[in-house]
Amino acid sequence: MSPGHTTNQVWKVSFVTSVADADAFATLLSDAFHPDAQAVATAEVEEHVSWSVEAYYQEEPVAAQIEKIIHPLANELGLQLPSVRIEVLPDINWVAKSLEGLAPIETDRFFVHGAHDADKCPTARIPLLVDAGEAFGTGHHGTTLACLKFIEKECQRRTPARVLDLGCGTGLLAIAAAKLTGRQVIASDIDPIATRVTRENARTNKVHPLIKTITAKGTNHPDLKAHGPYDLLIANILARPLAQMAPDVEHQLARGGTLILSGILHEQEQMVASAYRDQGLYLFDRLRINEWVTLRLRG
């Protein structure tokens, strides 16, 4: 079932953690249960001390299964183990509720906003409209924001002819690249919900003729290979899969092409950078936002 539709029950999974760990847990929860979790959000509980991490489901989750996935990931990252709470909520569109009212995000070139802020875009910015929905990526997370900044930098340096957004989520990064380059962008995700949402958002942002979506795992899909190699490849996923995919990703990158990698916690940076260095790619730029690091590499 898709969020935003009327359902009889919605379940909320929540736990309280430290301010420092909240974003990391939210991303782990998104990755571990996507697309089962319809939305994942964080909220302040005690100022400068603790935050809650909340996930919304339309099928009843099992606490033991959630803990079984969260706890090994928490141990690996050295995070304090939380106590998970599950409760049934009234029939409300909790996907939109969890994200409504988010303030617009501005970069040098872009103004990322929801429909309620459409009239606030400065004339010098390119509007990117992404509302609350079923896929990750509204520009408010440090990984997405850093990718936007690096896309701007890359397009200032040159206009890439072939672009791939690998793990596209809402399609925000693909849409941004299409608006800056005016050229076709391939947006790929393992989740068919994400590729559908990307097509919808591309139409909303009036770049749908430039966005081609492909539902595929990794980079070995024939359609992805047919459109490559890519001058700019953006992968905002998580550190471990990024490291594992290094040989395949490098194979899809054009000679002299640029690779933007994100979804990497600070302590995982060397692992990812090393995996791509082994493939002959060198790191020439990095951006850290809170505990998240985004890398820009070149072949």
Query: Which residues, 6+ apart, have CB-to-CB distance to 296 below 8 Å?
Result: 150, 153, 154, 258, 259, 260, 283, 284, 285, 286, 287
Q: Please give the DSSP secondary-structure letter assigned to residue 81.
A: P
104: three-class secondary structure by DSSP = coil
The architecture (CATH level 2) of 141-298 comes to: 3-Layer(aba) Sandwich (3.40)
Q: Could you tell me what percent of the chain has a pLDDT over 70?
A: 78
Q: What is the mean pLDDT of the chain?
A: 82
pLDDT band per the 50, 70, 90 thresholds, residue 100? low
Q: Residues 281-285: what's their mean pLDDT? A: 95
> Does pLDDT of 284 surpass 60?
yes
Q: Is residue 204 within 8 Å of 121, Cβ to Cβ?
A: no
- Which class in CATH covers the domain with range 10-95? alpha beta
Q: What gap in Å lies between CA 260 and CA 64, rounded to an integer? A: 36
pLDDT band per the 50, 70, 90 thresholds, residue 2? very low
* 5-51: pLDDT as tens digits: 334 567 888 877 776 777 776 766 665 554 455 566 666 666 656 77
**Start-end of CATH 3.40.50.150 domains in the chain:** 141-298
Q: What gap in Å lies between CA 293 and CA 152, rounded to an integer? A: 17
* 237-256: pLDDT as tens digits: 888 899 999 999 999 999 99
Q: What gap in Å lies between CA 108 and CA 80, rounded to an integer? A: 37
> Does pLDDT of 225 surpass 50?
yes
Query: What is the model's pLDDT at position 180?
Result: 96
> Does pLDDT of 148 surpass 50?
yes
Structure tokens at 198: 């990307």
Query: What is the model's pLDDT at position 188?
Result: 96
Burial of 184 (0-12, 13-18, 19+ CB in 10 A): middle
Per the document, the length of the chain is 299
Q: What gap in Å lies between CA 279 and CA 73, rounded to an integer? A: 27
Query: Which residues, 6+ apart, have CB-to-CB distance to 262 below 8 Å?
Result: 143, 144, 146, 147, 234, 235, 236, 237, 292, 293, 294, 295
Q: Which helix (H) or strand (E) holds 63?
A: helix 63-77
Neighbours of 32 (CB within 10 A): 19
Give the pTM.
0.69
For 111-143, the DSSP string reads EEE-GGGGGG--TTSEEEE--S-SSS--S-SHH
**Start-end of CATH 3.30.70.100 domains in the chain:** 10-95
